[in-house]
Structure 1
Amino acid sequence: MNQHDLLNVRHASLDEAKTTMSELLENRASNYSLDAQLYNDPHMFRIDMEEIFQKEWLFVGMTSEIPKKGDYITVDVGQNSLLILRDAEGNVNAFHNTCRHRGSVLCTEHRGKVANLVCPYHQWTYDLKGNLLFAGTEMNKDFDLKQHGLKSVFCKTGGGFIYVCLGKTQPDDGFDDYLATLDAYMEPYDVENTKLAVESTMYERANWKLVLENNRECYHCSGSHPELLNTLLEWDDTEDPRAPQDFHDHYNAQAAKWDAEGIPHKSKSFGEVQRNRIVRMPLKKGTQVMTMDGSAACTKPLGRIQNRELGSMRILHLPNSWNHMQSDHFIVFRVLPVSAQESIVTTKWFVHKDAVEGVDYDTDKLRRVWDATNEQDKVLGERNQLGINSIGYQPGPYSETFEFGVINFLEWYSNTVKKNLKAK
C-alpha cells in the first residue's frame, strides 16, 4: 500500500469514527455515563481534540504569570505548542510556538523572558507582536518579512484569566459576557498584583472527560477527601437541592458580610448548560481558607479584601478548568488531554505579590490540602478508566441530585461535539 492509499484509509477510518461518535452522542441517555469508546478509543480522542480542544475557548494561565514586557509561558494543547506573552504595550498575545521558516519550536522553556523571539535553529527573529524582524541575508531579494509573521491564536482575558481558541473562527457563545462578569467578580482580588507561589503538574492515566466528571460532583468526597472536607462544604452552589437549612442560614450570614465589603457573590452562569459558572460559597464555620486546619495560608490578604472568611469563589470553565478564589490565596486548575487515556492536571497557587515565602506564607501549608486531594482524585480517575476498559463495562446511571454537575458537563460536551461536526 502506497502513502496515498494509506492516507485515504486513515481519512476513511476517521470519517467512520465521526459517524460512530455522532450516533453514540445522538442516542445516549442523558443521565447515564458515556459509551466506553468515548472514554478510551484513539479515534474518538482525535475527534475530541479537533472538535473541542482546537475549536473552543481554553483556559491556559493567569496574567500575573507574565507581568512584564517579554514575559512568556508555553502551553501544549495536544501536539500544538502555544506561546503566550506580554508585549510592550502590556497586551497579552498568543501564538503558535513554531517558526515560520522550517517549523522549529521557538521557546523551549515552560516560562521565561525575552526581548525578541529568536528561533534557536536559524535565528529568525520576531518581535513581541509576532512580526518577523530578521530572516538573515540568505533569503532572496523578493522575500517579504511581512508575510512570515508568527501564526496568531485567538486570545482573550478576563479577571486575570487567559483564554485561547485555536479555531479558525471564535465560538459565538456569549463568552464576552462571561469575561465581563469575571472582571467584576475578580476585582477585589487585584490579580495583577499577585504572583505564582507554587505549582504542580500531575500525569493521570485517565481520559480528560473522566477528570472533569470527577470534579463536577462531590458524591465521592466523604469517602475519599478527608483533608478537603476539613473546610469545604460539599454543596455545589447556593441552590443545591441537598443543602439543609443550616447551610442557607450560614450562607445568608456570610453574604451579609460580603455585601458590606462590596464583595460580589450572586451565582452567575453563562453559555449552554452552565458552561461557565461563578459562585461564591462559604467554607465551614470558623474556617478561613482551604488549609488543613482552616487557618490563614498567607499573612497578606489579596487586593482590597479585609474579611478573612470570604469563602471560596468557584469558577468553572468547560472544557478544562475549575478554580477556588479565597481571601489570602487562590488556586487554579487546568486539564489538558495527552491521549485517549492520559491527561495532565496542572494546579497553581497564587498569593499577594509582596508576600515573602517563609515569612508570609509556607508553600507546604499552602498546597497540602489540594496535593492530597489531587492524588486521591488521580487514583479514582485511573480506577475509573481501568473499569471502563473492561468488556464488562456498560454506561451507568448518574444521580440527578448528587451528580447533576456531571450530567450538565456531558450535555455540554455532547451538544458541542455534535454542533461542531455538523458545521463542517
Structure 2
Amino acid sequence: MQISKPSISDLLNSRKPGHSLPAGLYTRDDVFEADMEVFFKNQWINIALDCDVPEPGDTYVVDVGKTSLIVLRDDDNQIRVLHNVCRHRGTRILDPGQHMVAKLVCPYHQWTYELSGDLLHAPRMGKDFDTSCRGLKTVNFVSVGGLIYVCLGDNPPADITSLINAMEDRLAPYDIRNAKIAYQMDIIEDGNWKLTMENNRECYHCAGSHPELCVSFIDFRFDTEYENDEEREIALEQQALYNERTQEWEKAGYSSNVVAQLEHCNTNFRTQRLIIGGAGESQTPDATAASKKLMGTMTRKDLGDVHLWGHNCWNHFMGDHAVTATAIPLSSGKTLVRTKWLVNKDAVEGVDYDLDKLTSVWIATTQQDADLVARSQAGVEDPSYIPGPYSDYTEKELDKFAVWYIDLMKASGY
C-alpha cells in the first residue's frame, strides 16, 4: 500500500517550536517551487550592487529561478533593472554575467532596445508597427546604500523602508555605490537555501570550523543565558566591550546599535556594528587592514564590522574593504552563493592591497560553510532525521528565521 506524502501545510503545522524544520521543507521539490514563489518572487531579494555596473552601458545579468534580469546603467547614469526577455518571441537578450553594450540587441531577430528598455528598432515588422508599447518589462528595485534589491512580484512589501532607513546612513561613509569589485567567487552549495541561511545565522560552529575567520570574528552572544561561569565571564566581557565601543562609535556619528526586523514582517534583516578581534581592523589573516586606501570617506580603521543579513544575503563592511554574499536557490538541494570583495574605487591591486590577504579568510570560510551545508543536506535527507532542538544559547536567530518562514508560507496559502 502506497502511503501519501504529507501536504506542505501539514509539514508547516508539524514544526515544533524551538526545533529545526521537518525534512520535507528542506528536500521536496514542491516546497522548493513554493519557496521560489513566496520568498524569491514576492519578497525583496538582494541580487547585485550598484558597482556591478559602474559606467553607462555596463550590464550585469542575474538569473533567479526561471527569471532572468538585466541590471544596467543607462546613458543618463541611472541604474535600471529589466527583464531579459525580448518582446518579440521571448528570446534571452544577454547571457548571465557582465557585458558592455551601446544598445540591447536581441541575437535572434535583432530587435534593438535603448538602455532605457524602450524598443528602438524592429526590422521587417512594417512601417506602421508601433514600437512604443513593446519596451522591455521593468522590475521593481531599490538601491539600499549601494545594494540592489528587487521584488519580482506585483506588490512589493512596503516594509523595505525599514531596511532603507537603517542602512543608508550606516553605509554612507563606505560609499558602496562607487566602490570597486576586487574579486568575485561563485560556489554551488549542495544544500537547500534555508540550510545555507541557517548556517550563516549562527556561529555555534565557528570555533570548530572556521579557524581563519575566528582570528578577527568574535562569536558574540546575543542573549543573556550562560552555560557555565567561564562562558558567563567571557560573554560579560564581550558585552562590556560592545557597550563601550558602540557608545563611542555612536557619539562619533557612526550608527552602530542593533536594528532588527526578524518576525511578523516581510523584509527580514538584522544589522549591527560588530567589534573585530585581534588587531581590530579587518577580517584578514592577521586582523589588520588589507587595503591602504580606506573605503569611501572613511578615515578610521577601528570602526568594526557593519554586519547586515537578509533572507538571501549577508554582508560585512569594514574600514578597508567589504564582503558581500548573495544566495540564489538553484533546486531543492543546490544553492548558488556569490561572494564579492569590494575596495575603494581608486585602490590598485599590488600597490594598495594584496589580493590574497584581502580574500583568503572569506574564501576559506565560504568553502568550509559549503561543506557543512552539504553535510546538513545529506543529514536531512536521511530517513532517520528527526528535527532537533535549537540552542537557546547560540541559535535563537534560527528559531526566529523558522517562525518567519512558516508565517509567510501560511500567509501565502500553504
Secondary structure of 2:370's aligned partner: helix
What is residue 325 of structure 1 aligned with on the other side? 317
Secondary structure of 2:412's aligned partner: helix
Correspondence for 2:139 among 153, 158, 169:
153
What is residue 42 of structure 2 aligned with on the other side? 55
1:314 and 2:299 correspond? no
What is residue 38 of structure 1 aligned with on the other side? 25
Secondary structure of 2:242's aligned partner: helix
1:29 and 2:16 correspond? yes
Correspondence for 1:252 among 243, 254, 257:
243
8 A contact 1:273–1:408 mirrored in 2:
no
- 1:344 and 1:394 map into 2 onto residues whose CA distance is 26
Matched residue count:
402
User: Any runs of at least 4 consecutive aligned residues in structure 1 with deviations exceeding 4 A, and if so which?
Assistant: 239-243
What is residue 129 of structure 2 aligned with on the other side? 143
Report sequence identity in percent: 39
8 A contact 1:69–1:87 mirrored in 2:
yes
Secondary structure of 1:291's aligned partner: coil
Secondary structure of 2:328's aligned partner: strand
Correspondence for 2:270 among 266, 277, 295:
277
- 2:397 and 2:325 map into 1 onto residues whose CA distance is 17
What is residue 400 of structure 1 aligned with on the other side? 392
Q: Deviations over 1:361-399 (max 9, x none)?
A: 111111111111111111111011111111111111111
8 A contact 1:334–1:346 mirrored in 2:
yes
Secondary structure of 2:13's aligned partner: helix
1:82 and 2:69 correspond? yes
- 2:98 and 2:184 map into 1 onto residues whose CA distance is 13
Amino acid at match of 2:163: Y
Matches for 1:175-214 after TM superposition, within 5 Å: 175-214=160-199
- 1:162 and 1:236 map into 2 onto residues whose CA distance is 30
- 1:256 and 1:272 map into 2 onto residues whose CA distance is 27
TM-score scaled to structure 2, two decimals? 0.93
What is residue 367 of structure 2 aligned with on the other side? 375
Q: Deviations over 1:4-62 (max 9, x none)?
A: xxxxxxxxxxxx99x81122213311211111111111111111111211111010111
What is residue 11 of structure 1 aligned with on the other side? none
Deviation at 1:255, TM superposition (A): 2.7
Correspondence for 1:268 among 247, 259, 262:
259
- 1:151 and 1:271 map into 2 onto residues whose CA distance is 32
Deviation at 1:334, TM superposition (A): 0.4
What is residue 9 of structure 1 aligned with on the other side? none
Deviation at 1:182, TM superposition (A): 1.1
8 A contact 2:60–2:97 mirrored in 1:
yes
Secondary structure of 1:345's aligned partner: strand
Correspondence for 1:125 among 108, 112, 116:
112
8 A contact 1:116–1:126 mirrored in 2:
yes
What is residue 355 of structure 2 aligned with on the other side? 363
Deviation at 1:304, TM superposition (A): 2.2
Deviation at 1:176, TM superposition (A): 1.5
Correspondence for 1:292 among 265, 268, 285:
285
Secondary structure of 2:132's aligned partner: helix
What is residue 231 of structure 2 aligned with on the other side? none
- 1:212 and 1:306 map into 2 onto residues whose CA distance is 33
Structure 2: state its 5+ residue gaps. Answer: 227-233
Correspondence for 1:228 among 201, 208, 213:
213
Secondary structure of 2:277's aligned partner: coil
Q: Deviations over 1:168-205 (max 9, x none)?
A: 22123x11131132111101111233100001000111
What is residue 6 of structure 1 aligned with on the other side? none
Secondary structure of 1:254's aligned partner: helix
8 A contact 2:51–2:176 mirrored in 1:
yes
8 A contact 1:87–1:128 mirrored in 2:
yes
8 A contact 2:50–2:178 mirrored in 1:
no
Amino acid at match of 1:38: L
8 A contact 1:92–1:155 mirrored in 2:
no
User: Structure 1 residues 149 and 380 mapped into 2: Cα distance closer, same or farther (>3 Å)?
Assistant: same
- 1:303 and 1:377 map into 2 onto residues whose CA distance is 30
Secondary structure of 1:143's aligned partner: coil
What is residue 12 of structure 1 aligned with on the other side? none
Deviation at 1:271, TM superposition (A): 5.8
Deviation at 1:256, TM superposition (A): 4.3
Secondary structure of 1:421's aligned partner: coil
8 A contact 1:175–1:271 mirrored in 2:
no
